[in-house]
Amino acid sequence: MKRIPHTARRGAVVGLAITSVALLTACGTSSGSGDSGGEAATELGDYEGQVSILAWPGYVEDGSNDPDVDWVTPFVEETGCEVTTKTFGTSDEALNLMKTGDYDVVSASGDASLRLVAAGDVAPVNTDLIPNYEGIYPFLKDQSWNSVDGVPYGVPHGYGANLLMYNTDVFPTAPTSWSVVFDEASANAGKVTAYDSPIYIADAAVYLMAHEPDLGIENPYALDEEQLAAAVDLLKTQRESIGEYWSDYLKEIQAFTTGDSVVGTSWQVIENVLEGEGAATDVVLPEEGATGWSDTWMIASEAKNPNCAYAWLDYIASPEANAAATSYFGEAPSSDAACDFRDDCEAYHAGDADYASQIWYWSTPIEKCLDGRTDVTCTDYAAWTAAWQEIKG
């Protein structure tokens, strides 16, 4: 699997992106609304000849890292828009860089997108000007992490679920519930693993939605103080059985290879690597559902090269380019047509709407409850960060 070193780097980077978000800016955590960042374009003009893209490492590959990995050159040849890329290591870094006004396009994870909207740093997009938008899976469009009040703020990229990984020797019968890492975690004390991030609180909330319905949790990213306290209590109990928290893709692979970890949260791409190495592991999407991610390509509100920016959003959503980019990371593509250029879509459940409906994609917790409640104030990411520090001790 030639791409694995790069995929591994991406896995570690995503972990850093979430775990390093220690503080949220005031705008974006209180309401998720604010300055719209301008209006969506109504028509496009001539290409400016260049575009500046701020992206996760590996999202904009031009062959310089690996001659066999290049989906940028065809874009340049097609549009004449020369691509300048700046990579970032955390979502906070991306947020700060976007404030400089130096970038036309940014790839935003769900923990950053609403903050970018609230700060006015990104603009709504006119999807009529993005022909390839039509082919994107409906379940990725008009979602809380890429739109506000029905107005789209970007184009979905790939997506994936945070799955339950288990050692098949320890669990000869596949577990069907997250209970093995929560209420039954003590059975494997010291060998349970969990994602090292405040956003992992949402995983506990997903579990509580199914097992403690009286709490009234409707969205794991919309927790009032009582609901957050319940999730924190569950995670404090789990903490007693945790061997290690992970955010580094490679470290989880090593832990499951050595047997130091036998059950915990993971990604499909990690299982693919372990399977290729003959490890006794497998993954499952438990009956309660799971959290997950779907990144979004967004355009700066004051983009200097808006026409080339729109061209990039359309291009990266095109079947062949999207297939190349998402395959490189080990995630599902954003359209069925992209699967014509991949041979592993089935492993990622690409296009399976029933499967996707069980995923709660990372969204920034804000005071304005994402579940629509108006009679309470929900806890924001700053509160989650403080709670996570309390959980880990």
Supply φ then ψ for residue 5, to 5 degrees.
-55, -35
Nearest to 195 by CA among 93, 300, 270: 270
CB 91 within 8 A of CB 108: yes
Token duo for residue 323? 């297939």
Helix 319-329, helix 306-316: angle, nearest 10: 70
CB 54 within 8 A of CB 94: yes
| Average pLDDT of span 46-50 | 98
In the predicted structure, residue 2 carries a pLDDT above the cut 80? no
The CA-based dihedral angle spanning residues 376, 124, 291, 233, taken in that order and rounded to the nearest 10 degrees: -30
Nearest to 324 by CA among 301, 345, 348, 342: 342
Q: How far is CA 258 from CA 145, 156, 161, 225, 280, in A?
A: 37, 36, 24, 39, 10
| Average pLDDT of span 144-169 | 95
% the chain with pLDDT above 90: 77
By residue count, the chain amounts to 393
| Average pLDDT of span 359-376 | 93
Residue reference for tokens 């690409």:
350
d(CA 74, CA 78): 6
pLDDT given for residue 6 in this prediction: 38
220-267 confidence digits (pLDDT tens): 999 999 999 999 999 999 999 999 999 887 899 999 999 999 999 998
The CA-based dihedral angle spanning residues 17, 364, 115, 292, taken in that order and rounded to the nearest 10 degrees: 50
In the predicted structure, residue 383 carries a pLDDT above the cut 90? yes
CB 324 within 8 A of CB 341: yes
d(CA 81, CA 266): 38
d(CA 219, CA 206): 8
Residue reference for tokens 């469009």:
141
Token duo for residue 349? 């459940």
Token duo for residue 324? 């190349």
Maximum C-alpha span of the chain: 63
Helix 4-19, helix 249-258: angle, nearest 10: 110
pLDDT given for residue 272 in this prediction: 87
Q: How confident is the model at residue 114 (pLDDT cuts 50, 70, 90)?
A: confident
Residues 319-358, buried b or exposed e (16+ Cβ, 10 A)? bebbbbbbbbbbbbbbbebbbebbeebeebbbbeeeebeb
d(CA 355, CA 301): 34
| Average pLDDT of span 140-152 | 93
- Give Cβ neighbours of residue 383 (< 8 Å, ≥ 6 apart): 228, 365
Q: How many of the other CB atoms lie within 10 Å of CB of 317? A: 26
pLDDT given for residue 311 in this prediction: 98
Token duo for residue 11? 């896995």
Strands 263-266, 192-195: pairing is: parallel
15-38 confidence digits (pLDDT tens): 333 333 333 333 334 343 334 457
Average pLDDT, the chain: 89
CB 141 within 8 A of CB 170: no
d(CA 204, CA 201): 5
Residue reference for tokens 């993971």:
266
The number of C-alpha atoms within 13 Å of 190 and in the hemisphere containing its C-beta is: 2
In the predicted structure, residue 111 carries a pLDDT above the cut 90? no
% the chain with pLDDT above 70: 91
> Of 36-40, 305-309, 378-382, which has the strongest mean pLDDT?
305-309
329-346 confidence digits (pLDDT tens): 788 999 999 999 999 999
- Give Cβ neighbours of residue 241 (< 8 Å, ≥ 6 apart): 185, 186, 188, 189, 190, 192
50-96 confidence digits (pLDDT tens): 999 999 888 899 999 899 999 999 999 999 999 999 998 777 789 99
Total-model pTM: 0.80
Token duo for residue 291? 């959290």
| Average pLDDT of span 124-145 | 96
pLDDT given for residue 31 in this prediction: 40
- The H or E element spanning position 246 is strand 242-246
Alpha-carbon torsion (61, 317, 345, 158), positive or negative: positive
| Average pLDDT of span 277-290 | 97
